Amino acid sequence: MPELPEVEVYRRYVERHALRKSVTGVSVLDARILGDLTPRALNRGLAGRQFLGTHRHGKHLFVATDGGPWLYLHFGMSGDIFYYRGKRDRPRFARVLVRFSDSSELAYDDMRLFGVVDLVDDPGTFIEERGLGPDPLDRKFTLPVFRRILAGRKGAIKSLLMSQQIVAGLGNLYVDEILFRTAVHPQTAADLLTAADVARVFRAIRPLLLKMIIIREAGAPNPPRSLISHREEGERCPLCGGEIRRTVVFGRTTYFCGNHQRLVRHR
DNA sequence: CCTATAGCCTGACGGC
DNA sequence: TGCCGTCAGGCTATAG
């Protein structure tokens, strides 16, 4: 589920609720979420410390501690976090609990276990090692940078936008939405996009993400004139009345408007 | 470099 | 009610 806007909402949630409280301990309810780390090591890294701040890059969330490693959270398909006081509020698929001295708790919840809870020394190093592309909300993500990243690539534009090494933070839902708004067919080879196409795609990314952060944070419904609200084969396109089509690109279910997103095969 | 595939997991949903 | 297949907004490893 979570793409950049959702993870940004989680980041703000941690900022609001979990900073400057003493961690008394960590309970790991399902160690599969930890990968290499052991429950003991996670506890040792966090117990006795406080969370001081957060950093998000794409879909990756980092929480700073005073003097210790950073807590690293990735949310996979179904990850979420909850902060609460009574254990009756503990979420159904809680995998890790960070307990605070005031008896409140931060739970990492993940039904499908595709997410990761880990400790990292430094977010910058992590981002570097993973070869992550720029975060689209970062100032450094500019049109020239975007052009440079796409230059020489021949892959389907959807695959490229999905790749975290190209741009960090977009996933299946929002990539489809961006291409829908810019009238680009998801299978279009990147080198067949015109300069105007690339510019339109670039200019669609940030406003969509910012708008979705606001919507997600408010728990508001998806925008009515969006593909997000019409992800079903045979639906009517809210922009042009065309038929919404379904296909598979890059191994992922892809929706697009068969009328206003036409595939260009050559120029 | 690029694509396709399988796999990691669990639950919700629709059809019979 | 139960069983079965399908699907889900992520990501990695592998093969061709």
Residues A213-254 have pLDDT tens digits of 999 999 999 999 999 999 999 999 999 999 999 999 999 999
Sign of CA dihedral A83, A84, A87, A92: negative
| Residues within 7 Å (Cβ) of strand C | A 1-3, 6, 58-59, 74, 76-77, 112, 114, 130, 164, 171-173, 216, 231, 251-253
**Rounded distance, CA A204 to CA A245, Å?**
21
- The confidence score (pLDDT) of residue A190 equals 97
- The confidence score (pLDDT) of residue A178 equals 98
Q: How open is the CA angle A211-A127-A149, to the nearest 5 degrees?
A: 70
3-state secondary structure of A86: coil
- The confidence score (pLDDT) of residue A6 equals 97
CA(A226)–C1'(B8) in Å?
Answer: 32
For residue A166, name the pLDDT band (cuts at 50, 70, 90): very high
- The confidence score (pLDDT) of residue A35 equals 81
Nearest to A14 by CA among A130, A115, A106, A94: A106
Place of tokens 């794409």: A58
Contact, A68 vs A46, CB < 8 A? Answer: yes
Q: Which residues lie below 8 Å from residue A195, measured CB to CB, with a gap of 6+? A: A147
- The confidence score (pLDDT) of residue A7 equals 98
What are the backbone dihedrals phi and psi of residue A99, each rounded to the nearest 5 degrees, phi first? -100, 135
List protein-proximal bases of chain B (any atom < 7 A from a CB).
Answer: 1-11
pTM, 2 dp:
0.97
Q: Please state whether strand B lies within 7 Å of residue A251 at its CB atom.
A: yes
- The confidence score (pLDDT) of residue A267 equals 78
Q: Name the pairing type of β-strands A51-57 and A94-100.
A: unpaired
For residue A18, name the pLDDT band (cuts at 50, 70, 90): very high
CA(A5)–C1'(C16) in Å?
Answer: 36
Q: Which residues lie below 8 Å from residue A220, measured CB to CB, with a gap of 6+? A: A214
Contact, A201 vs A224, CB < 8 A? Answer: no
Tell me the per-residue pLDDT of A172-222, one tens digit each, with 9 for 90 and over: 999 999 999 999 999 999 999 999 999 999 999 999 999 999 999 999 999
- Examine the pLDDT at A1 and tell me if it is beyond 80: no
Q: For chain A, give the number of residues.
A: 267
Q: Which residues lie below 8 Å from residue A232, measured CB to CB, with a gap of 6+? A: A244, A246, A255
Tell me the per-residue pLDDT of A126-161, one tens digit each, with 9 for 90 and over: 999 999 999 999 999 999 999 999 999 999 999 999
Q: Please state whether strand B lies within 7 Å of residue A112 at its CB atom.
A: yes
Residues of A annotated as part of the active site: 2-3, 59, 252
- The confidence score (pLDDT) of residue A127 equals 97
Percent of chain A past pLDDT 70, that is, above it, reads 100
Contact, A78 vs A89, CB < 8 A? Answer: no
What residue type is A107 in one-letter code?
A
- The confidence score (pLDDT) of residue A102 equals 97
**Rounded distance, CA A194 to CA A126, Å?**
34
Sign of CA dihedral A147, A148, A149, A153: positive
